[in-house]
Amino acid sequence: MGTSEITNAFSVDVEDWYQVSDFEAAVRLDEWDRYESRVVANTRRILKMLAEFKVKGTFFILTWNAERHPELVEEIAADGHEIASHGYSHRLVYEQGRELYKEDLERSQEILNGILGEPVRGYRAPSFSVTSQSMWALDVMLEAGIEYDSSIFPVQDSLYGIPGALRFPFVIHESGHRRLVEFPMTTTRVAGRNLPLGGGAYLRMLPYQYMRWGMRRVNREGEPAVVYLHPWEIDPAQPRLKTRGKRGFSTHYVKLHAMEEKLRRLLSEFRFGPMRQVLAERGSAELPSREALLPLGAASQNSPIT
């Protein structure tokens, strides 16, 4: 087994099966209420699994769901997990533009603050949509009091990615006494290219051994990895929607039955904690600053799946 000394971050993007970017063209935001809600039951299954392994994580809440199920946010917090924001509407940041993005982020913060009675400090953009076209989002986050962001994937995908970004936590933006730390999604580096690890469809579709190998490599570099998943990814019984997805193909329903077992193996073989705790352990004073961010788009590569 061999649990490493490094604590990795465990994270859940709390959204329902029909709220994903892939289904955007087929499922309109103003019709979300018409779809079968499965997010509460699926999130509770994740809570139960984490309790079994005595692991705490960070739950990035899509706050359209928090408005309708505030008790779910309370339950997650009561279990000792960290609550953070996944925005309100799941629109891609670079498609929203600065003003709409600001409204979306602040609305999500107000909703969570109203439930928890305290401000949230962490944020993850829908589908990692902080890219070279939406770097202004970092300004908006800093102004809104966000302390860490986990939205940048240092790979090139047709929907997201900054291939030249640093691979591990760094200070991405500063203004006055405020600092915004970036916790990028996890990659492993092979032959000068960043290969995605992390979770989501990568974890579902690729062999477990790849994930374990990659995470061990990252931990041997002395760095924490971040694992992410969505509640619908452990729900093979969810309704089937016919859509080609935002890229012309969709990975949404692929290997849903394999996810839970892989998560259980990860939870038994690695040490995990909430993102904020992992960053604190990493020592924020020692984090590199944005100057070390390579020129955006410096590297070019393709990753075929999300």
Which range in 11-19, 34-42, 141-149, 211-219 contacts Zn ion by CB under 5 A? 11-19
Nearer to Zn ion, 62 or 171 (CB): 62
Nearer of residues 92 and 293 to Zn ion, judged by Cβ: 92
Q: Write down the least CB distance from residue 21 to Zn ion, Å.
A: 7
Pairing of strands 187-190, 226-229: unpaired
User: Residue 12 or residue 263: which is nearer to Zn ion going by CB?
Assistant: 12
Distance CA 161, CA 143 (A): 23
> Of the listed pieces 73-81, 124-132, 207-215, 256-264, which binds Zn ion according to CB under 5 A?
124-132
CB 32 to Zn ion: min, Å: 13
How deeply is 74 buried, as exposed, middle or buried, from its count of CB atoms within 10 A (0-12, 13-18, 19+)?
middle
Query: Whose CB is nearest to Zn ion?
Result: 13
Residue 252: CB atoms within 10 A of its CB come to 23
Question: Which CB, 171 or 229, lies closer to Zn ion?
Answer: 229
Q: Is 7 helix (H, G, I), strand (E, B) or coil?
A: coil
Residue 125-144 contact track with Zn ion, rule CB under 5 A, x = bound: -x------------------
Number of residues lying near Zn ion (CB under 5 A): 3
Minimum CB distance to Zn ion, residue 178 (Å): 26
**How far is residue 230's CA from residue 219's CA, in Å, rounded to a whole number?**
24
CB 251 within 8 A of CB 205: yes
- Shortest Å, Cβ 150 to Zn ion: 12
Stretch that binds Zn ion, among 119-127, 130-138, 143-151, 236-244 (CB under 5 A): 119-127
Residues 6 or more apart whose Cβ sits within 8 Å of residue 143: none
Q: Which of 6, 7, 9, 13 binds Zn ion (CB under 5 A)?
A: 13
C-alpha dihedral sign at 50, 151, 181, 112 = negative
Name the one range near Zn ion by CB under 5 A: 118-126, 199-207, 214-222, 295-303: 118-126
How is residue 135 written in tokens?
Answer: 């770097």
**212/247 with CB nearer Zn ion:** 247
Q: Count Cβ atoms below 10 Å from residue 89 Cβ, excluding itself.
A: 17
Q: In angstroms, give the least distance from the CB of 126 to Zn ion.
A: 5
Output 185 or 293, the one with its CB closest to Zn ion: 185
Q: Nearest approach, Cβ of 288 to Zn ion (angstroms)?
A: 27
Q: Which helix (H) or strand (E) holds 8?
A: strand 8-14
Q: Which is nearer to Zn ion, 68 or 217 (CB)?
A: 68
Chain-centroid distance, C-alpha 182: 12
Return d(Cα 87, Cα 105) in angstroms, integer: 5
Shortest Cβ 61–Zn ion spacing (Å): 10
Please provide residue 194's backbone torsions phi and psi, each rounded to the nearest 5 degrees: -90, 125
Residue type, 12: V
Q: Which is nearer to Zn ion, 127 or 188 (CB)?
A: 127
Tokens of 285: 């004073």
Residues in contact with Zn ion by CB under 5 A are 13, 15, 126
